[in-house]
């Protein structure tokens, strides 16, 4: 049997989508479902009880601690299944996810198996924009075979997520693998993932995209300004309490290196790393990584190019990089303010390529509703995220309309094209 553990706290907005995807699983009736709530006050708990009442294989368990790690550990302790999955309650899964993974883990007697996933955000119109993530884009040979991941650097660099797989219960218990039970829900899966990779003898990664991971929840741990503090605590615990049980310490350093650069660049946008509460954690992580580089544990060839470039920028001029990142955000916010100042009744983006989609996400998240795209290739593209894509000449009513040109190389030409259609300069903005 497979036990699915769902830790929750105030996720009313997302819980029905999550549980509907679980109930729709092809093997749902074979699952044990544990809903571990940490004291929700927004109506989440009432929804959980409603599902428990309707489905006999669903059980609600109340956690007396607001700790993601404690909730998951509680679920592991209560689980009756031979295998365990963790589903985060603001995400959802494809209909055959657990059938696919459960068959693999049994057929090959695996310690764990993981699938690829997509990240997504929800727009104000209820539609989603998603992006498939390929875990081993640079080493496709790691897919669809039984591997011992313990000494494979690419696994440490690329696999850092707890929820896209299932784990053998006896494997977790025999190796004492648990999450740390620190307060909140931030980065407590770091230690878990590293321990799993270090202890596993038989693992498999499959390329099917089966899990859908939300990235637009404002309170999500990845959006926390304290990310570097939580990250430091997890790695410090690994090195202090698990060092003798980490057969491939280089792998842990590789993951720490990548996590550090990503978190620091995020925090530099607001110059948060220089805050009194954040800087000591930043310094601890940087000193660890500097030591690993100095001793040759990690070299430039070991990490992704963008990671090494970020590390060098942080080392050479963190203040300057912070200023650069802060400045890069100004034109976007200025465009949002310009849209609001124009006060027109509708906003149209000219360009339905990657720039246009990026522009849509940014405007939508800042309260600017996009009515449509215009694109010279309309016809091959008819809509995106529920928003129609038409040719420039198909917009007949130009009154009370703001046009945002979103193209890296041809924005001046596109602006002239709008002028020729009768759009005034003051109604045209440029997305940079």
pLDDT above 70 covers a percentage of the chain that reads 97
- For residue 139, give its domain range: 2-224
What pTM was computed for the model?
Answer: 0.90
Sign of CA dihedral 59, 216, 213, 120: positive
What's the average model confidence in pLDDT over 273-302?
91
Considering the domain architecture, whether residues 200 and 87 belong to the same structural domain is answered as: yes
- Please state, as a whole number, how many other Cβ atoms lie within 10 Å of the Cβ of residue 327: 9
Considering the domain architecture, whether residues 88 and 207 belong to the same structural domain is answered as: yes
- Decide: 75 and 167 in contact? Cβ < 8 Å: no
Residue 335 within a domain: no
Considering the domain architecture, whether residues 268 and 132 belong to the same structural domain is answered as: no
Residue 333 within a domain: no
Backbone angles phi, psi at 117, to 5 degrees: -145, 170
> How many structural domains comprise the chain?
3
What's the average model confidence in pLDDT over 323-352?
88
Distances (CA, A) of 92 to 47, 77, 134, 156, 408: 16, 24, 18, 25, 34
Considering the domain architecture, whether residues 13 and 116 belong to the same structural domain is answered as: yes
Identify any residues that bridge with 168 across adjacent strands, giving them in sequence order: 83
Instruction: Tell me what pLDDT residue 425 has.
Output: 93
Confidence of residue 220 (pLDDT cuts 50, 70, 90): low
Instruction: Tell me what pLDDT residue 382 has.
Output: 87
Q: Is the pLDDT of residue 184 over 80?
A: no
Considering the domain architecture, whether residues 240 and 199 belong to the same structural domain is answered as: no
Over the stretch 362-416, which tens digit does the pLDDT of each residue have?
999 999 999 999 998 888 888 899 999 999 888 877 788 999 999 988 999 999 9
Instruction: Tell me what pLDDT residue 187 has.
Output: 82
Q: Is the pLDDT of residue 221 over 60?
A: no
Instruction: Tell me what pLDDT residue 290 has.
Output: 95
Mean of all residue pLDDT scores within the chain: 92
Task: Give the closest residue to 387 by CA, choosing from 407, 410, 363.
Answer: 363
- Decide: 202 and 96 in contact? Cβ < 8 Å: no
Instruction: Tell me what pLDDT residue 344 has.
Output: 82
Considering the domain architecture, whether residues 189 and 237 belong to the same structural domain is answered as: no
What's the average model confidence in pLDDT over 147-152?
97
Residues 6+ apart with CB under 8 A from 282: 228, 232, 264, 267, 273
Instruction: Tell me what pLDDT residue 238 has.
Output: 92
- Decide: 222 and 216 in contact? Cβ < 8 Å: no
């Amino acid at each position: 049997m497979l036990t699915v553990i769902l830790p929750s706290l105030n996720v009313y907005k997302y819980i029905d989508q999550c549980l509907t995807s679980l109930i729709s699983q092809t093997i749902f009736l074979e699952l044990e479902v544990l809903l571990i709530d940490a004291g929700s006050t927004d109506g989440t708990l009432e929804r959980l009880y409603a599902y428990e009442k309707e489905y006999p294989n669903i059980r609600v368990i109340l956690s007396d601690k607001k700790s993601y790690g404690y909730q998951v550990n509680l679920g592991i302790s209560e689980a009756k299944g031979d295998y365990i999955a963790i589903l985060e309650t603001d995400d959802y899964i494809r209909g055959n996810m657990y059938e696919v993974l459960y068959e693999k883990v049994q057929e090959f007697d695996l310690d764990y198996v993981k699938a690829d996933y997509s990240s997504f955000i929800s727009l104000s119109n209820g539609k989603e924009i998603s992006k498939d993530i390929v875990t081993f884009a640079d080493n496709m040979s790691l897919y669809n075979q039984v591997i011992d991941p313990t000494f494979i650097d690419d696994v440490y660099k690329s696999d850092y997520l707890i929820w896209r797989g299932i784990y053998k219960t006896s494997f977790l218990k025999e190796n004492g693998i648990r999450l740390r039970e620190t307060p909140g829900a931030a980065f407590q899966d770091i230690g878990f993932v590293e321990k799993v990779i270090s202890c596993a003898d038989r693992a498999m990664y499959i390329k099917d995209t089966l899990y859908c991971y939300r990235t637009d929840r404002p309170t999500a741990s990845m959006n926390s300004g304290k990310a570097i503090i939580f990250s430091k605590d997890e790695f410090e615990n690994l090195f202090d309490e698990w060092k003798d049980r980490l057969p491939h310490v280089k792998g842990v350093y590789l993951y720490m290196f990548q996590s550090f650069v990503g978190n620091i660049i995020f925090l530099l946008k607001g110059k948060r790393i220089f805050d009194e509460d954040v800087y000591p954690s930043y310094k601890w992580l940087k000193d660890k990584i500097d030591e690993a580089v100095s001793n040759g544990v990690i070299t430039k060839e070991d990490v992704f190019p963008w990671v090494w470039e970020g590390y060098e920028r942080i080392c050479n001029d963190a203040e300057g990089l912070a200023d650069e990142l802060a400045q890069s955000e100004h034109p976007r916010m200025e465009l949002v303010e310009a849209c609001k100042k124009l006060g027109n009744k509708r906003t149209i983006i000219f360009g339905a390529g990657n720039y246009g989609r990026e522009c849509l996400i940014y405007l939508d998240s800042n309260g600017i509703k996009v009515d449509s795209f215009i694109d010279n290739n309309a016809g091959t593209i008819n809509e995106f995220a529920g928003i129609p894509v038409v040719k420039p000449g198909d917009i007949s009513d130009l009154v009370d309309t703001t046009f945002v040109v979103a193209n890296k190389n041809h924005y001046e030409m596109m602006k002239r094209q709008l002028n020729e259609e009768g759009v005034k300069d003051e109604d045209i903005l440029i997305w940079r």
